[in-house]
Amino acid sequence: MPRASELRKGHVVDISGTLYRVLHIDVRSPSSRGAQTLYKVRFNQLPQGGKREETFIGDDVVTSVALERRQVSLLYREDNIYTFMDQEDYSQYSVDKETVSEQLPFLSDGLVGINGMLVDEQLIAIEIPIMVELLVAQCMPGAQAASVTGRTKPAKCVNGYELQVPEYIKEGEQIKVNTETGKFVSRA
């Protein structure tokens, strides 16, 4: 079982019989002599998606979970159920919309690099790549003299995701989007 000081982003732990994934860790070192380092950890509940914050001392022990990561791909969506297929043995895992709600804006057909997180052969969450490529479906035409400035315009991608892009981006272009911030990175 790991100590609180060994926790990293993405680890899955069991707190009071409920599974949580580590989203963010804030380390605070008090300035008084003899004070212990505090670890304020923000968790995401799996698979429901609730939030939780806990503060640990570095030597506190947390219960880790036997987690298996598998390469999966989005197979199909039916109402609020998303079905993913294991890339190695072609097993299928179905989850509800709430389980993948944070990744929904970036999920698209053919997206590669999706990791499924399984506990006891049940898909509890997915991880998508930090950068994804999306096709711009709609955006206003850019100015003729569009230069390399910080001016942006709204754009809508094929999967329905809306974001701000530079003026020089046109409809039909592939763009790279950071999935952690949801912002435009570059042309693909």
- pLDDT tens-digit readout, 107-165: 887 788 899 989 888 888 888 999 999 999 998 876 655 555 678 899 999 888 999 99
Average pLDDT, the chain: 86
Write the CB contacts of 164 (distance below 8 Å, at least 6 apart in sequence): 152, 153, 154, 155, 183, 184
Q: Report the pLDDT averaged over residues 51-77.
A: 88
Q: Which one of 3.40.50.1100, 1.10.3210.10, 3.40.50.720, 2.30.30.30 gives the CATH number of domain 4-64?
A: 2.30.30.30
Query: Under CATH, domain 68-127 is a member of which superfamily?
Result: Nucleic acid-binding proteins (2.40.50.140)
Per-residue confidence band for 99, with pLDDT thresholds at 50, 70 and 90: confident
> Of 47, 3, 1, 39, which is closest to residue 21 (Cα–Cα)?
47
pLDDT at 129: 92
Give the percent of the chain with pLDDT over 70. Answer: 94
**Domain residue extents for the chain:** 4-64, 68-127, 131-187
pLDDT classification of 36: cutoffs 50, 70, 90 = confident
88 pLDDT above the threshold of 60: yes
Which CATH number applies to 131-187: 2.40.50.140, 2.120.10.80, 1.10.1760.20, 3.30.300.130?
Answer: 2.40.50.140
Lowest mean pLDDT among 19-23, 90-94, 128-132, 179-183: 19-23
Q: pLDDT of 3-17, one tens digit each?
A: 888 888 878 888 888
Same fold, 68-127 and 131-187: yes
E strand residue ranges, the chain: 12-15, 18-28, 38-46, 51-57, 63-64, 68-78, 81-86, 92-96, 114-119, 122-127, 131-139, 152-157, 162-166, 174-178, 184-187
* Higher-scoring residue by pLDDT: 57, 142: 57
